[in-house]
Amino acid sequence: MRSGQLNEAFELLMAVYGDPLTTFAVRILRNSEQAEDVRQQVFLEAMQGIGGFRGRSSLWGWLCGIAYHRCLDLLKRLRQTAPTIDDLETLVGEPDAVMEQDRVAKQRALDRCLGKLAHRLRAQLLLRYFFGLTYQEIGEMVNEPHGTVQVRISRILPQLRRCLRDEMKG
């Protein structure tokens, strides 16, 4: 980007970060078509706003922040309800032939448990554990102190573990 090769730089960004951003959006929105729209919005917004990127966070963190906000914007517009069990097949997709049965079951249980969380909490949890962002980065995205984000996530983890345990029993 610094050398002026913006198109090549954005092609590289889309190749590296496109799929993880789409997966994140699918887990928040519970709809693959909407997630693809968010992905396109993220890269369009990033391309238009790259001049305003100050480097206070990583480029990856910046893209995650855009994705987070576009997902919440869409949810507000749609007033989307929580997914049903029928939606899970779309969310999880076809299991990889190489994936063992236990791993597929755990993934589906996790998706069901995540689906029970409020959209904002699910998004923050995924930003932390799926994208590996720090509490500080997440706090900046959601305009809350990082300590608040950390406490919120730490309080939900035992509930998520109980849900996973219950899902795996049933």
DSSP per-residue codes, 93-135: -SPPTTS-HHHHHHHHHHHHHHHTS-HHHHHHHHHHHTS---H
* 8 A C-beta contact, residue 127 and residue 133: yes
Q: Which tens digits make up the pLDDT trace of 119-155? A: 889 999 989 988 888 999 999 989 999 999 999 999 9
pLDDT of residue 96 exceeding 90, the answer is no
Q: Judge contact between 52 and 66, C-beta under 8 A.
A: no
For residue range 107-120, list pLDDT tens digits in order: 888 888 988 998 88
What's the pLDDT at 89? Answer: 39
> Binning pLDDT at 50, 70 and 90, where does residue 67 land?
very high
pLDDT of residue 79: 64
d(CA 97, CA 12): 29
In the chain, where are the structural domains located?
A: 6-169
